[in-house]
Structure 1
Amino acid sequence: MNFEQLSLTSQVLANLNECGYSELTPIQQQAIPVAIKGQDLMACAATGTGKTAAFSLPIIENILKAPKTNALKALVLTPTRELAIQVGDNISRYSENTGLKVVTVYGGASFNPQRKAVMAGVDILVATPGRLFDLLGQGALTLSQIEYLVIDEADRMLDMGFAPDVEKVKRYLPKQHQSLFFSATFSSEVKKLAAKLLTAPKSIDVTSKSDKPKIEQFGYFLDGRRKAELLAELIGKNNWRQVLVFVSTKEMASRLTKELKLDGIANDVFHGDKTQGARNRALEALKSGAIRALIATDVAARGLDIKSLPIVINFQLPFAAEDYIHRIGRTGRAGQSGQAISLLSETDKPMLTEIEQLLGQKLKLSTPKGYEPGSKLPQRYQGSLSIDESKQEKYKKPFRKRNDNRASSKPNSMQKKRVDNGSKWKKK
């Protein structure tokens, strides 16, 4: 089924064609006709399956066909700022040159510009819960004439503790409105939340019908102190140009980015302490090829859409097994193939067991030659603190021993430069 068969506005069809859209995905085929008719919808679909178009195209179409007013018509709630930005950008592309105004608001960015944009008039608002209530509290926004409410990534909303906020939003809305509820899972908690928000909804579940992500999952078992060394070797020897590397803490992200830069691998970090602008720039650098690796905490496990991302690496396993699913879901999207590689040491075994139980399968494990646990460490690693100990928040020693006469971690042209896989130093 193609988009022309939906009888969408000619400009919207032109925009979709410009985006490269032709055939509808399974969730789009089932959700769009229901949503256009005005029925509440409870939809379960995996990330990367076209959910944003599935809920936004009916809203755009119905707003365009209704009499023009200056009131806010549609509210899309997302759990994270990254997802809000992505959804807002997509809706703006779908509605380009239609006269509709789309505004995205989220925390971690300056409040006043967002407030002014909302007060200047908006048709479709994409928001995170916290920033939405900031605007409502200051009287910069009213939801009294909302006709469409979308809850995106409902399961993540629950994970992040936003269920009370989502229920609270309902109280700001008029009695008559349409609610579209999207989630990657239909757990009992998700269903309870949906029951409070929806009225006689149509239920759609395409997770069992969609093609499963083609993700090859395996792990390397090694001494935890040599994970950084192996990661650098894998990126270099395989000439990987676009890798998303997950760590468990911001501290580890900062340490690992320095290690990779010493090995000549351009990279950047992505975590909660970075400003939204810095995070956006880091993400764009990975997409454009300006950097080869993005070191991220679990704030990147949801909502990020990197087209054709080939490889996800778990440098450290997550604290919750469910987050492993979301991490590896950044690759193998929309029917494409990808690899999910986990670097594992002895302390990772308990979490690995939980992950394998959740997956219902065992990960294929191997040990790269020369990285066997218990083997003698290279001189530069001897005496360093293991990077996979249970308490990872603070580190008192570097990964590697540094020469005492080396004054800076950023050598200039007159300083020493590492060669031969980092084992020797010589004058440049």
Structure 2
Amino acid sequence: MFNLSRLLYLLSEIPYWDVTATKGNEFEDYFLKRELLMGIYEKGFERPSPIQEESIPIALTGSDILARAKNGTGKTAAFCIPALEKIDQDKNAIQVVILVPTRELALQTSQVCKELGKHLKIQVMVTTGGTSLKDDIVRLYQPVHLLVGTPGRVLDLTKKGICILKDCSMLIMDEADKLLSPEFQPSVEQLIRYLPSSRQILMFSATFPVTVKAFKDKYLPKPYVINLMDELTLKGITQFYAFVEERQKVHCLNTLFSKLQINQSIIFCNSVNRVELLAKKITELGYSCFYIHAKMLQDHRNRVFHDFRNGACRNLVCTDLFTRGIDIQAVNVVINFDFPKTAETYLH
């Protein structure tokens, strides 16, 4: 049996967030449009994080980028800022496509683009599977400069001749290792064929398994490589494990809930069934709890995601659907109720 009191003491001593030292650059150093700088500062960014310092000036030169950086270090702004800077707002055409693996991440990324570009006349659209194709078709007959979406839906609209990519000079792949899994890679490669030969590709992820190499060699022969992964975890995030039998897990969780200072927590399980059962159990113990998984209707998923982000509930139980790039500032505790299936899943 593990020493729960010792674990609780150690958890109480954790500093939660830290970002490694920067070079001291300022956003003004990149000669960005004044309207974009206004959006950056209004979003609360004071100066670039390390991944932003490395990525923004290189992306602005038009070079391909292969970047590894930890989750939570400002990756989204590292590619959104140069994308917004390079878009010609007077040109009525899709000039940037951002591909992500999940609907939730697409919504979050498009929101960041809209906030950063709020003083620019740039039209941002998000499109994902599980939503109305007809609505997307209608929207694409209006001006769109920046498209955020999941590969299958973007490819579908492109094949139909609705999404025109002949003027798209920048393709951004966030969570690139996931986008190059067997589930997505065929769609990504087909999509690249619709882009002009002079296109720029930016690939961002925390992990780059060997499967990425063949893709890189084919489509990014000479990328600028950024690797900020000297360690696999963010500074300030401390990890603990409780070695318990299956029947002790809920008791352990209940004790942690009663003792920890939780702003919001995300709890991962390995199956849809276990997610629903654990969420029911947590609710029965008297704690507020939502759950989310891939088999839920998209409207329901969107509502849960939105409400949890806005603080309507303290705890969220989910499958690894929710591991990729989701940035919710109030979450200060992450619990793996089940042992993750892969190292990459745990890291993300």
| Identity within the alignment, % | 36
Paired with 1:45 and 1:245, the residues of 2 have a C-alpha distance of: 23
1:17 correspondence with 2:36: no
Of 265, 284, 288, the match for 2:310: 288
Paired with 1:187 and 1:258, the residues of 2 have a C-alpha distance of: 36
Match of residue 174 from structure 2 = 152
Tell me how far 1:155 sits from its aligned partner: 0.9
1:254 correspondence with 2:261: no
Of 207, 220, 223, the match for 2:245: 223
Contact 2:70–2:234 under 8 Å retained in 1:
no
Paired residues in the alignment total: 324
Match of residue 91 from structure 2 = 69
Contact 2:207–2:344 under 8 Å retained in 1:
no
1:47 correspondence with 2:71: yes
Contact 1:150–1:181 under 8 Å retained in 2:
yes
Paired with 1:117 and 1:3, the residues of 2 have a C-alpha distance of: 33
Contact 2:69–2:206 under 8 Å retained in 1:
yes
Tell me how far 1:218 sits from its aligned partner: 1.4
1:76-95 equivalences in 2 (<5 Å): 76-95=98-117
Contact 1:82–1:303 under 8 Å retained in 2:
no
Of 98, 102, 107, the match for 2:124: 102
Q: TM-score, normalised by structure 2?
A: 0.87
Tell me how far 1:319 sits from its aligned partner: 2.3
Paired with 1:301 and 1:209, the residues of 2 have a C-alpha distance of: 19
Q: Which runs of 4+ in 1 moved over 6 A?
A: none
Q: Specify whether residues 193 and 213 from structure 1 end up closer, same or farther in structure 2 by C-alpha distance, changes over 3 A only.
A: farther
Of 102, 105, 112, the match for 2:134: 112
1:116-143 Cα shifts (integer Å, max 9, x gaps): 2222120011111111122123322121
Please identify, of 117-126 and 220-229, the stretch whose mean Cα deviation from structure 2 is larger: 220-229
Of 152, 160, 165, the match for 1:130: 152
Match of residue 60 from structure 1 = 84
Tell me how far 1:211 sits from its aligned partner: 8.3
Paired with 2:189 and 2:293, the residues of 1 have a C-alpha distance of: 28
Q: Specify whether residues 83 and 10 from structure 1 end up closer, same or farther in structure 2 by C-alpha distance, changes over 3 A only.
A: same
Match of residue 331 from structure 1 = none
Tell me how far 1:228 sits from its aligned partner: 2.0
Q: TM-score, normalised by structure 1?
A: 0.71
Of 280, 286, 303, the match for 1:264: 286
Paired with 2:341 and 2:120, the residues of 1 have a C-alpha distance of: 45
1:20-419 equivalences in 2 (<5 Å): 20-64=44-88, 68-159=90-181, 161-208=183-230, 212-238=234-260, 240-326=262-348
Q: Specify whether residues 34 and 311 from structure 1 end up closer, same or farther in structure 2 by C-alpha distance, changes over 3 A only.
A: same
Q: Specify whether residues 36 and 171 from structure 1 end up closer, same or farther in structure 2 by C-alpha distance, changes over 3 A only.
A: same
Tell me how far 1:213 sits from its aligned partner: 3.2
Tell me how far 1:283 sits from its aligned partner: 2.9
1:44-88 Cα shifts (integer Å, max 9, x gaps): 212222122212212211224x7x221211111111112211111
3-state SS in 2 of match to 1:175:
coil
Question: Cα RMSD between the aligned structures?
Answer: 2.0
Tell me how far 1:12 sits from its aligned partner: 0.7
1:75-127 Cα shifts (integer Å, max 9, x gaps): 11111112211111111111113111010111122222222222212001111
Paired with 2:211 and 2:244, the residues of 1 have a C-alpha distance of: 38
Counterpart AA for 2:71: T
Tell me how far 1:209 sits from its aligned partner: 8.2
- Uncovered stretches (5+) of structure 1, i.e. residues with no partner: 327-428
3-state SS in 1 of match to 2:241:
strand
Contact 1:261–1:267 under 8 Å retained in 2:
yes
Tell me how far 1:239 sits from its aligned partner: 5.0
1:136-180 Cα shifts (integer Å, max 9, x gaps): 233221212211111211111123532222221111111122221
Tell me how far 1:190 sits from its aligned partner: 1.4
Q: Specify whether residues 212 and 314 from structure 1 end up closer, same or farther in structure 2 by C-alpha distance, changes over 3 A only.
A: closer
Considering only CA atoms, is the larger Rg found in Structure 1 or Structure 2?
A: 1
